[in-house]
Structure 1
Amino acid sequence: MANVRAEKAVEYKKTCNCAQAVLLAFKDEMGKSEEELLALGSGFGSGMGGMEATCGALCGAAMAAGFLNASAAPTKMMTKAMLEEFKEKAGATICGDLKGIKTKKMLCSCDDCVRHAVVALENQL
């Protein structure tokens, strides 16, 4: 069964970057405007640094966790757990590795990275 929020994020991805799509999928819970979330995630497209750094979807999930964390656990620990879950599902956390820039073998599509990031965040909330 498809995750509704994850699929909503994939729809957002059609008009923005992966980080922004994940942030927008949680906008109702964060109490931030769409414009604020788009600005917050704007520097994290293409793996922050042109595919050479952490996947933007995972960055978006980490930022959203900071807004949404109401638990006693530090957001840092939530983010670590999300990173581990994401890596297990997607095969890597670096955008260039996920897209197979050097290997020519894609490990995970952007849509699936967005899905994995949303689910990983939901699993921590």
Structure 2
Amino acid sequence: MADRKELAVELKHNGHNCCQAVLVAFADKVDYTEDELRKMGASFGIGMGCMEATCGALIGAQILLGLIKFDGKPVIREAGELYKEFEAKCGAGTCKILKGIETGKVLCECDDCVRNAVEILEKHIGE
């Protein structure tokens, strides 16, 4: 896929939450339809619906990591690496911290969280 990062951002701007955008951008890599992926990610927009939890884009990347890499053995180590890389690149892993809700300082805009989640996942799946 030419530029999966920009596809994910385009999806985000056209009716998908951050998690769904990341999931659907990788539809060609998993055995789920786009509709099933949208359903899978429906509850994970804006940090699980309340900004208090993990960024939806990061959740999407973690779900895909499991769907793509799981072969009967845990992918915990890689999941931890993916999280740490996202946190280092974006400044945090929690939605409200990324958006500066309490500090007034945005660490990473949603579009960039989506781009970064896609880029980091691509690295982990060998794309």
State whether TM-score is above 0.5.
Answer: yes
After TM superposition, where is structure 1 displaced by more than 2 Å over at least 4 residues in a row? 70-74
CA distance in 1, matches of 2:93, 2:73: 23
Post-superposition CA distance 1:40-67 (Å, at most 9, x none): 0001000014100000000000001111
Q: Does 1:10 pair with 2:9?
A: yes
Task: Name the one with the larger helix percent.
Answer: 1
Aligned length: 123
Report the CA distance between 1:84 and its aligned residue: 0.7
Q: Does 1:39 pair with 2:12?
A: no
Normalising by structure 2, we get a TM-score of 0.91
Alignment RMSD (CA, Å):
1.6
Post-superposition CA distance 1:66-115 (Å, at most 9, x none): 11106797322221111111011100000000000000110000000001
CA distance in 2, matches of 1:20, 1:74: 23
Q: Any gaps of 5 or more consecutive residues in structure 1?
A: none
CA distance in 2, matches of 1:124, 1:72: 17
Helix, strand or coil for the counterpart of 1:117? helix
Normalising by structure 1, we get a TM-score of 0.92
> What residue identity is the alignment partner of 2:53?
A
CA distance in 2, matches of 1:11, 1:20: 12
Q: Any gaps of 5 or more consecutive residues in structure 2?
A: none
Q: Does 1:64 pair with 2:49?
A: no
